[in-house]
Structure 1
Amino acid sequence: MIAANKQARGKSRAPDAQVGLPARRAAVELLDAVLRKKQPLGDILSRSLDGGVMSDLPQRDRALARLIVATSLRRKGQLDHVLNAFMERGMPEKSGSLYPILLSAAVQLVFLKTPPHAAIDLAVRLAQYNPRAKRYDKLVNAVLRRVADQGEAIAAGLDAARANTPDWLWSRWVQRWGEERTRAIAETHLIEPPLDLTVKIDPDAWAERVDGRVLPTQSVRLLPKGRIDQLPGYAEGAWWVQDTAASLPARLLSDVSGKRVADLCAAPGGKTAQLVQAGASVVAVDASKTRLKLLEGNLARLGLEAETVLADAATWLPDERFDAILLDALCSATGTIRRHPDIPYTKSPQDIEALSALQARLLDNAARLLKPGGRLVYSTCSLEVEEGEAQVAALLARNEALRLDAIAAGELAGEADWIWPSGLLRTFPYQLKLDSPEWSGLDGFFAARLIRTG
């Protein structure tokens, strides 16, 4: 009987036995993968949902885990400041998951308004079940009690935009875009973005069905509400998710009906779908087998067809040349931080340098694949000049067969502030202001259009 009681007590203390613990455990694992292993949040979420720590969670717990992780990353600077105020000796070394446990609990106490007893007790339990963090369970309890008492006031006293933007990004943006624009970018990153849909036909009708609104770009915007695949129109392939800024580059190719178009670095396929929907015969090229399968699945749901090729777009040399090419190149994606708040902690200046070299190779090959008179649109979802304006200037300097084809404001719903005097497209996250911050904004994008003259 005694043995049975001990066994029962042991089972009752298993990490996933207490209500709310599985979601917190998942959040800690995801944060650890992002912050310590530098893995992109989107990738680890996909793996976690497909047989990982999130796979067995009910939808409510999945949503909670995502909220904890996203808000922890979005507010990491403030949360670090709060935690450091109560840890005189700093974070102990070789302490396992102690940091993500504290971070995920602090965000619940300071920003998500979780009852203190729940957030603190669950954090202590998580520490107790981590081999290296368990000896710090009393520290977890003591620190988080002080966070519960004083953390909100400390966080509110900070410059949130500056505190939550890592130094390496803040300094380079101030240098390139100035203090005022940098602050506006950083403030936008603190707000969860809306959801944009590109619809096949009749944006007004679909806006009404999904309780959204039609943007000047004809995207349909709505505030996130539960699972995307449960929205009207998903199953029948009436639309696809695509930030309104991401929908712009494909439009810059103008009339592609009946033309042979290559979409390089094509996955997950939003731009491919746009081109097919516009009547083009599209070859979609991507170097990732997994991402190419995702593209093919997305096209199948939409009832659209394109030729897909698994290849490195920097070296791919087919037997044909194309009327038009869209190169939405691999990049640092710093223009999408409001959607992907892990980017400041998984990317670095060294990544930007390496990606810039790759982009140059992609551009050189894209130019080789273009017919005389054909158009090439180059785009990146980056706020970095090295991945945008500097790339195009260098390409034009080394390839006399290309010339810049200036973009006019009238091509993009009259949004003149998106077009620079040189005819290049540059959007910032704080632009496209609507009636509230929750409905406003768009991804930071760069695009240039070029013509091959010979």
Structure 2
Amino acid sequence: MVLNDTKNKKPNRPVRNNSSPARQSAEPKKPGLEVRATAAKLLAAVVDRKISLDGILDLTHGNPAYKALSDADRALTRAILTTALRHLPRLEAAIASMIDTSLPDGARALHHVLVVAAAQILHLDVPSHAVVDLAVEQANRDPRNRRFAKLVNAVLRRLVREKDEILAATASVSPVPDWFRARLVAAYGEAEAAQIAESQLVPPTIDLTVKADATVWAEKLGGKLLPTGSIRLPSFEGSVTALEGFDRGEWWVQDAAAAIPAKLFGDLKGKRVADLCAAPGGKTAQLISAGAEVTAVEQSPNRLARLKENLSRLGMTAEFMAGDLLTYVPEQKLDGVLLDAPCSSTGTTRRHPDVLWTKSLPDIEKLAALQERMLRHAVTLVKSGGLVVFSNCSLDPIEGEELIDKVLADMPTLSRLPVDPANWPGLEQAVTAKGDFRTTPSMLPSSEGYPGGMDGFFASVLQVR
């Protein structure tokens, strides 16, 4: 395997490896090495084994190596992983441009070492010399990669030297996997698909939903009032739990797009409503704040406990039902049902960049079939004249527009209640021709020091006749 150095740089000196494996294992680890080794292992788990990043990083049941790190090292590991996953196709293109042949099939561990290092060099504020040194050390300590230590050293040093040129050369590479790009192009066209893909490279915003007096709280918190009624905070370091109003339960963290579905019911005062996939409780809290009598349905015991905890902090109460929503039947039919259905989550990749590497089109199709079953059941819970708001955080029409059209086609007692764009100034573009709501991560541009973007969300309002 030969380094592809088109600029005829002088070759780097090989990294000598005179230690036996036993001696190497006894050597003290360099500071920062465990973070990089953990990041490479976890990247492999996501990309090669399709394991959710949330599961891996869970401090109760997650990866043991990650849990053993200090708080600061866990934060750095998360930053490396999320950056690597957001930029993965471009990082791989940069690495491939420097090697004249592909890495051997058995060199996946080496591939992940290089990607982790490239993510730091090209996108994170980490000293480059330390990144190179630790990556070479990783290679030397792994029997599978030891013979490639010289290659690692040479590739990464070139990345450091030619950072600006490499970033420019790879900017035309789509930052999302091919399967997902094809889905975006089919749904939104080339131009908008490219905008959505690029917008997912930007870290997520912090948006808040308040119980009341959003304008007042925007001023108190130094935030900006959004078209959804949410408050967007400027970029800041620290914990939101330290902000004014958290302890008193005056607000909760909720992406601006996630705040839309509950608002589509209109006036809810005194009405009986069920939230069928209620945890973690942001939408449940909105329904309660709007004056509804809410039944919160949740199948997972752990998520139900979290829901109760969140509502308790907010000083809110609801009727709780533990169990499968497909078997839930209220004593009397309801005025409304909110079904924020489990989905592929492809609209949330700003905060969950692993989704595009752990999901596939067959996964989306299976989830859409489950959503359809849930929706058809939800309709049976609502009395004549009542509303069903169906929503999810997927960007794929299979889980949105196509699903709604399919259900409406053979349920004559159900009709779409079109959303009026005039009621959503600043988000008129999010209302589709048929009257559904469709947000994408490229909406809400940044301005006045506030970051832009929002989750990709779909919502449709259905009325039972």
- Fold similarity call, TM over 0.5: yes
Post-superposition Cα deviations, 1:290-349, rounded to whole Å, max 9, x if no partner, equal: 322222222222222222323222343344422110011111121222222112111111
Distance 1:254 1:117 in 2: 57
Aligned to 2:12: none
Shift of 1:444: 1.4
Contact kept? 2:159, 2:166, Cα under 8 Å: no
CA shift in 2, pair 1:436/1:85, >3 Å: farther
Contact kept? 1:375, 1:452, Cα under 8 Å: yes
Aligned to 2:132: 120
Aligned to 2:178: 167
Distance 1:250 1:21 in 2: 46
Contact kept? 2:56, 2:63, Cα under 8 Å: no
Distance 2:100 2:296 in 1: 54
What are structure 2's unaligned runs of at least 5 residues? 1-19
**1:428 maps onto 2:435 in alignment:** no
Contact kept? 2:209, 2:253, Cα under 8 Å: yes
Structure 1 stretch displaced more, 313-322 or 383-392: 313-322
Contact kept? 1:245, 1:442, Cα under 8 Å: yes
Aligned to 2:403: 391
Aligned to 2:109: 97
Shift of 1:106: 0.6
Q: Secondary structure at the match of 2:170?
A: coil
Shift of 1:163: 2.4
Shift of 1:242: 0.8
Shift of 1:113: 4.3
Equivalent in 152, 172, 178 of residue 189 of structure 2: 178
CA shift in 2, pair 1:438/1:204, >3 Å: closer
Alignment coverage as a number of residue pairs: 443
CA shift in 2, pair 1:51/1:38, >3 Å: closer
Distance 1:450 1:341 in 2: 32
Q: Which consecutive aligned stretches of 4+ in structure 1 deviate over 6 angstroms post-superposition?
A: 9-12, 48-51
| 1:121-270 paired onto structure 2 within 5 Å | 121-130=133-142, 132-160=144-172, 162-222=173-233, 223-270=235-282
**1:338 maps onto 2:350 in alignment:** yes
Structure 1 stretch displaced more, 72-81 or 18-27: 18-27
Aligned to 1:3: none
Question: What TM-score comes out, normalization by structure 1 length?
Answer: 0.90
AA of the residue aligned to 1:13: E
Contact kept? 1:321, 1:370, Cα under 8 Å: yes
Distance 2:140 2:231 in 1: 47
Q: Secondary structure at the match of 1:324?
A: strand
Distance 1:54 1:61 in 2: 9
AA of the residue aligned to 1:108: Q
Equivalent in 368, 374, 380 of residue 362 of structure 1: 374
**1:106 maps onto 2:121 in alignment:** no
Shift of 1:389: 0.9
AA of the residue aligned to 2:177: P
Distance 1:155 1:49 in 2: 37
Shift of 1:284: 1.7
AA of the residue aligned to 1:73: L
Q: Secondary structure at the match of 1:46?
A: coil
**1:411 maps onto 2:423 in alignment:** yes
What are structure 1's unaligned runs of at least 5 residues? 1-5
Post-superposition Cα deviations, 1:239-278, rounded to whole Å, max 9, x if no partner, equal: 2111101100001111222222111122221111111222
Q: What is the RMSD of the two structures over their aligned residues, measured on CA atoms?
A: 2.5
Distance 2:273 2:353 in 1: 33
Distance 1:317 1:98 in 2: 54
Percent identity among equivalent residues? 43
